[in-house]
Structures are given as C-alpha cells and as structure tokens.
Structure 1
C-alpha cells in the first residue's frame, strides 16, 4: 500500500505537468515590427498613413531562389514565451505592379543564413492575390485580399514553389535569430507574428497581438465529381496556390496560372524553378486529366536577363527553354505556344494594348531573334510554332489571344494569323480568352457568330481564360449580377460545336480579379449563386454527340475544277454557308429538307470551308478544294 505522502506528491506532480502542458498549449503570439530588425542596406523604413513599414529599393536584379546579397536581408532577434511550434504570419502590402511586386523570402529555419544558398530560404511568390485584410475568418490558406491593401498571410501554410515551414522553439533556446530576404520591389512588410501552430488567428487578433482559438473555421466541403466528367469537352481550371483547394472536385483539365511563364521558371539565367509547374503537371498525371502548358512565348513575364543578349544568343536560349520544358514534361496534352501575339509583341518599344514595353519590363525583347515581321508579317510567330513542332511532336499546339471574338474585324485579323499557321501544319487548336472585360456588353449572338468564323479554319476552339465579374457599379459584391452574366454568356460558349473545352481563370478568392468579384467560391468554400447554377448547367446539359448526319453528308467532286459540285445527305440541314480562308462568306443559302444540293459557283482557285447548320443547331464542316 502506497503512503499518503507519496500519493499526494504524485497528484501534485500530475497537476504540475498538466499546468505546464496547458501553458505550452497557450503560448502567447510574438509580434515583431518589421522595421525593428537589423535592415540590410537595400531595405528602407518608411511611414505612410500612420503605418511604419519596410520596403526594398528598386532593382533590375531578382534572384530566383535566394536574396543574393547580405544587403537584401533583415535580421531579427525574437524571444518566445515558451517552447513549442509556431507559424509565421506576415502583414504585407503588394503595390500596383501586382504579380511584379509580390514576392520575398523567409529563412527556412532559425539562425543566420547564407544570402546565396537556396536551401536556406523559402521562396514566396504570387502573393498579390491572397491574404486576409479583415473579417471574422481566420488567416489560414488563400484568402480574398488583393493588391494595394494591408493584409495578413500565414506563410507557414502558403505554398508557392517550395514547401512552407513552421518554427520549433526548444525549452533552452527561447531567443532565436530569424531572417527575411528581399526579392521584388514594390512589396511592403509592416509586421511579423509567430502564432502557435494549431491555433487560428483572425486579422484583428494578429493586429492586436491577441491569442488565437483552437476552434477551426466552419467551412463548406464540396463533394464532386468534376462538373464536366463524362462530357465530350472539358471544363478546366487554373492552378496556383490560391486556386488549389478542392480543385479535383470541380475541374477535369488544368493550366498553370503563372508557374509556366518563362520569367517564373528562369528569372535568373540557368537557375530553373520548376516546383510549382511540377505540382501542376503531377496533378494532371495523377488525375488523368489534360495538362495545358501556359505559355512558351509572350510579351510579358519573360526573363529580364534575355532582353540585352544578341539575336543569336536569344534564339539559342529560346531553344534551350523549349527543350527543357519538353524533357521535363513528356506528356503535355496542349501548349499555348504564343500568347497574345495580336496584343503584345516580345519587343521593347512595342506599344500594343499592354504596352509600351520598356527595358526591364519583362517583354523579352526577342521579337527580332525569332524573325520579326518578316515576309508574312508574322514570321516570329511562325518560327515559334516551327520550334514547338520540333520539340513537342505529340502535343496539341495552340495559339492564344484576347479580344478576338468581340468584333468581326478582330476575328478576321486573328483568323488570318491562324490560316498562316494552318497552311504550314503548325497549329492544332485556337485559344480564345474570355475575360470579363472582353465579353461585357457584347451580345451573345456576336460571340457565337465570331466563334463560327474562327471554326472555319478547321481547328478546334478552346476558351482558355474565362472569368465573369460579380460586383455592382459601386464595387460591392453582387451575386445576382454575376449569375445573370454567367447565364447570358456561358451557354453560348459551352454549346458551340466548335468549342472543345473551357478553362476558368480561377474560381476562389485570390483570383486575379478578386477586386471585381470574379471568384465563384467564397473564402469559407461556400458557392456563390453563379457557381451553383454553373455546376447544375454543365452536369445536366446534354451536348451533341457526333451524329449520324456527319457521316452521311457527302461533297462530290472534291476537288472541283469548275466550281460545280453537289452535297448529299443534307435533309436535316437548315443553312449552307461557304467561306474562304479569311473567313469571308462567299455563298450562303437556306435549305428546306433537301437531300441533295447542286451548286455551280464562280470561285477562285483555293481552299474553302463548307458549313452546314443542322436542325439542332449543330455545325458540320467540310473542306472544299477548287482547282
């Protein structure tokens, strides 16, 4: 039998252990003003609107995965209230440059780090479209805050290109050295907070240095399956840190948002950052869904270092870029080879819709290395596709641009470029962006007609970057406005027979048009009205399968030498239209259940597309060669 004193001491020991465990479980958050550290020479402390913060001096040199010099490092001495594991929260502001102003580094552990050792630093990029500026939701993953506002991000849960880390403090080492590193300018930091891992902190609690709670947020969990599962065309999404959550529950095609742009991969020459692109590709392989590479050639977000190389060296680097992508990702389904050729040349001094492109802006400035305008006016695009066909023989090569179905003149200009590529067997599909600023106010009938014109090139169409805003005239979130616009636009795109897939350019807060309310799911995962409608529409709408009429319609003779030919099997067609390679209608007529249509047309020698509209609205196309 144990003595009473022994039993008392045992109970006291258990009580002491319990008190210690409780204290460790409730370690107070540790706040650190950003300017309180030892600032490297490239950091500045500034004050505006009552907030004192640090920012980096502008520089044209951005290392890919480390600060590069001690001048770009801030060092802090942080004393913790007790041992335990802590998450790092940072109050930051991304300025007007958006994706060009939104990255920094934090040390991968405590202690003084080498400014040139990649392993010592966690790269944090794409911060322009995540974070929490206010509200009752805890600062967890993602978040709806955009640019130009002070916002909190849990860096220990934010994954861009590297696995994030939490920080463990031992009982005998409560004071630790911690470091931050500069990457892009235009990025401001106000405050750091180390909050205990496993607790949840609202922006207000972090602002005040108050303890978080153990209660996780109540969030909605979607169940899937993907909206377009089993459909003859895909409905995909864009992949980025802000858009990853529940991706597989909604989408069956994936496109990297920024990770596949050359400037993201090779910001420093010969230092390749594949991590986030690897993540996108791995998802596609794991889920068995198409991976579309975005993008090889563009007039934005290109490596700054390539701008000043000779034409020969630039072309060599472009070949290396293509080859590196091809070797790393052998199962690419689709590639947007050239992005926005009509709007943004890879040329310094270009004054297109996204210009002017100034030195250091990331335009690439390799336009002339690819052949410039040349004899076709588009030699640089033709060269790009020629290289892509060489390095990616099994991928579907796409061209991609915006504003191309909003007017017939834009459509015709785009079609002329597509036809140049088609004549050389260099393009396999046509990408058509669908941002809200393009489609707003454009009649759905105009969009449909211009899609049909582009389909005359005989290539499948893809809506590559669809988003629809959801705010009123005062920029207040408005579900009804977004729902009405989705109902007006989406069916026209989804049911068009030439369109073989649609990709939403984001669906969660952190969307590049977060300020315009273009996201479809809220920060707590609940679905806005437009998203509920969209899922039901896609899942229940029966798309036209390849019907028997397509195999029974015959065109004879083909080629024709005198413009005389016949169409048979046309009894279910209501309209006949013949267009030339520029998409211009050269003949059209109504059909009235005629099984045979005999034609004798005065057509110049060349290639034409014969289009038959079925009673169900389907479109059947055939090529006609006139000799």
Structure 2
C-alpha cells in the first residue's frame, strides 16, 4: 500500500460529525423493506459492520473526506498508520500520532476499529531489515523484538480494537509459507507465537489471519486451512479469517467464494472481507462500472449469506486516495466513490443487499 506522511495538527481539532438520525437512533431490524439511505444504515440493517480503510493525511486535512467517512461507515482500518515502519521508524522511537488519530476519530463517531497489521513481510522498519540482513540481529533477538512489538502495539490499544490482523499474507501464491524474515529466522512457529502474544496483550480482541487471493487460489486456500487447523489443534487463540477481496473486472468473479468462506467458518472462525476493491483497466465506461457494481455486491452478498461473516471493509472509499493506480499501471477507478466523493453504481448496488 502506498505510504503516507503524517500531518496531523488538524485532526486534533476536528470535531465529530453528528450521525444522521436514522443511523444513530435505529436498531437492527427496524428498517423494514426500504432501501437504506447510506452505508451506515445498511450496516445496522444487515447486521454486518461496513468499514473503510482510512488514510491519516486526508482524515486530518480534507473535511469532505472526514465527513463522508464518519457518515457512511461503522468500522475503520488504519490503511498504513499501524504498520511497523510507521509506528517505530527508529528502534525504540515510536510515532503513534497517526494510529491514535484514527482510533480517536472512530471513538467519536461510534465506529469499531480493525488493527492492521502486527506481523507482515512488508513495510518493516529499515533498522530491522538491515539488522537481520547484516547479522547484527540474530534469531533469538529477532524473536524478542517481534514479541515486544506485538505487546507494545496491541497493548497500547487494548480494549479499543475490535479485531487485529495478527499475521498478514503468510502464504505465497504457490501455497507455500511465505519466505519472509520471520519464516527464515524463526521457523513456522512464529505464527502461533504471534497469536499467543497478541491474545496476552489484548484478550478481548478478535485475532485474524488475513490474505489476498484467498477467495479463489486453491493452493493458498488449502495451506491457510492447514494453518488454521494446526493452530486450533494446539489451542492457539485464532478467531477469524480475513479475505482481502482485491478483485479486477478483467478477471472472472470468484464464484466459489461462498464455499471457500464456509470452509473456514465451519472451523469455528468468524469471517471478514477486509480490503475490498474492484479495479478496472482505464478508461472508465458505464459497462465497466456496472460489472464493478456486480462484483462489489456479490462480495457483500457472500458475507451476508454466511452468519459468521461480521465485517465488509472497502480499501478506501474514494478514488481520490486509492492505492490501485500506483501499483497497477493503466488500472484504477477501484472504489465505490469517485474523486469528488460522488457515489458510483457500486455504492448504490451495496444498498440493495438484504439479509
């Protein structure tokens, strides 16, 4: 994901946006058969958290972005602000401003928070990767560093995070455990250790394994199922499976997704779609927008149809701040609102979902 600089003076002064009466005062089941007015109301109606990734600079600096985020969503994820390189850029020197801003804004606006992420192979601080590479940080020290990081971050937000992505993208596209510094230096046991430490740091948070292409990649699905079964057999506290949901309309929709999700929830896990977006090859056309809307809706339908799916989060709600153009040349328009925050057909399609 693209990195952001933290300019947060404005966020400390930002006031909470009042919730619309329909969102703040209604309860699940009180909406009858009418189409909800917004995504927050939809969330109450279908009893699934509807969330978005949050970029801290626009949260601080763009009033329309902040107002829309707080009106529409019942759940938020810090897009980058909780990643290790952001919170500890220098060893022992912590910068919590961005993460704190996301959490404070969520609390003011009655939103739950997904912590993202405690263990990943990307966006690690340079002092850590350099130390491992040159041998100045050996395996024993690395294990201690990882433990301390989890306790420091999960402990800081104890009681404020609904769910943590404890380990992120630990399986590669061939279905092997990813060859990260964690696997290379600590062996596969680091996954169980991370969950145990996260649970000790915050016993009330739901703890997830999270990955991309898990909606359709058979090798990745099978390996992740094996990891989950092994963790549960060892009584490791794992509570959820996160399907990132990064799709593209140039590819077929993963029609087996409901069955895949059920394989995991049948193991006793709750499920979440954690990073949904649907990119397209530019330029945008009405036909492409219609296909995009269908993909977004089908993902939410899959969640609603599985009683253990509790969250549907989009990876940014506006093309103004989407990560897609920076990573996929010639592609974009991946979110549910355009650069001016005007809803697209995908937004309207989500509002038609029923439980």
**What range describes the TM-score normalised by the shorter chain of this pair?**
0.7 to 0.9
Q: TM-score, normalised by structure 1?
A: 0.45
2:14 corresponds in structure 1 to: none
Pick aligned residue for 2:239 from 417, 424, 428: 428
In structure 2, stretches of 5+ residues that fail to align are 12-36, 60-64, 132-136, 326-330
1:490 corresponds in structure 2 to: 299
Shift in Å at residue 479 of structure 1?
Answer: 4.1
1:511-565 CA-partner distances (Å, limit 9, x unpaired): 111442102222222212222222x214xx1x2xxxxxxxxxxxxxxxxxxxxxx
- Are 2:74 and 2:112, in contact at CA under 8 Å, matched by a contact in 1? yes
Correspondence 1:468-483 to 2 at 5 A: 468-469=278-279, 471-472=280-281, 475-483=282-290
User: Structure 2 vs 1, CA of residues 478 and 227 (structure 1 numbering), >3 Å: closer, same or farther?
Assistant: farther
Whether 1:251 aligns to 2:251 is: no
Shift in Å at residue 250 of structure 1?
Answer: 1.2
- Are 1:406 and 1:438, in contact at CA under 8 Å, matched by a contact in 2? no
1:375-411 CA-partner distances (Å, limit 9, x unpaired): xxx3121111121122121111111111222044432
Whether 1:413 aligns to 2:228 is: no
Shift in Å at residue 225 of structure 1?
Answer: 4.4
Name the structure with the higher helix share: 2
1:323 corresponds in structure 2 to: 151
User: Structure 2 vs 1, CA of residues 500 and 164 (structure 1 numbering), >3 Å: closer, same or farther?
Assistant: closer
User: Structure 2 vs 1, CA of residues 491 and 301 (structure 1 numbering), >3 Å: closer, same or farther?
Assistant: closer
Correspondence 1:76-475 to 2 at 5 A: 99=2, 125-126=4-5, 160-163=6-9, 225-240=40-55, 241-242=57-58, 244-245=65-66, 246-307=68-129, 308=131, 309-331=137-159, 332-343=161-172, 365-369=181-185, 371-372=186-187, 378-423=188-233, 424-437=235-248, 440-444=251-255, 446-469=256-279, 471-472=280-281, 475=282
User: Structure 2 vs 1, CA of residues 263 and 425 (structure 1 numbering), >3 Å: closer, same or farther?
Assistant: same
Shift in Å at residue 352 of structure 1?
Answer: 9.1
1:507 corresponds in structure 2 to: 317
1:622 corresponds in structure 2 to: none
1:77-117 CA-partner distances (Å, limit 9, x unpaired): xxxxxxxxxxxxxxxxxxxxx73xx6xxxxxxxxxxxxxxx
RMSD between aligned alpha carbons? 2.9
In structure 1, stretches of 5+ residues that fail to align are 1-97, 103-124, 127-159, 166-221, 345-350, 358-362, 373-377, 544-627
Name the structure with the higher strand share: 1
Structure having greater relative contact order (Cα 8 Å, sep ≥ 6): 2
Shift in Å at residue 466 of structure 1?
Answer: 0.6
CA distance in 1: counterparts of 2:249 and 2:348, whole angstroms: 24
CA distance in 1: counterparts of 2:300 and 2:243, whole angstroms: 16
CA distance in 2: counterparts of 1:485 and 1:526, whole angstroms: 15
